[in-house]
Amino acid sequence: MKDDQIQVLKADITTLEVDAIVNAANESLLGGGGVDGAIHRAAGPELLEECRILNGCPTGQAKITKGYRLKARHVIHTPGPVWHGGNQNEDQLLSDSYRNSLELCKENHLSSVAFPSISTGIYGFPVQRAAAIAVKTVLDFLGRNEMPRQVLFACFNEEAVKAHEKALQEMS
């Protein structure tokens, strides 16, 4: 793996020029708060129209749409788990969200993808734990696959940046 294959940055994910951004969606895929609402607002009403025909998405799975008014060509929607204390398979479901999003990148020949810190907002997943799961899942996937060539962790705040940088440093 190349050193610059994974990057952590504090950024508004809706502004990034990558092949795909990942939307930490809810199961309806019809928009919501946080990053989900921001992506829907930035992409425009066409995104909601395409999401309506997808008939939702189970937690841990992922679906892909066009990016519409975003700089990203695609949006990968993945509902992460709601944190219930760690005893309801949350770690595995979060890992599944990242892995299934990466699988869609591979299947669609997308070389660059940006992830938010999935499930750490209103869903309450502890940031350090989520970052460790995210980084481990991405490193494992990139170790076995050619695509994507670049993964960005586009963190909304400094806490998430530090958590992802720490996890990356410990696992690389």
Tell me if 151 sits within 8 A of 116, measured CB to CB.
no
Instruction: Give the containing element (helix H, strand E) for 140.
Output: helix 127-144
Tokens of 39: 């992506």
Q: Which is catalytic among the residues 36, 91, 96, 140?
A: 36
Tokens of 53: 């025909």
Tell me if 147 sits within 8 A of 18, measured CB to CB.
no
Bridge partners for 21 per DSSP: 75, 114
| C-alpha dihedral (160, 89, 22, 147), degrees to nearest 10 | 100
Classified as helix, coil or strand, 65 is strand
Check if 36 is active-site: yes
Residue 100 CB neighbours (<10 A): 17
Q: In what order do the strands lie in the sheet with 74-79?
A: 6-10, 150-155, 112-115, 20-25, 74-79, 63-66
Tell me the catalytic residues: 36
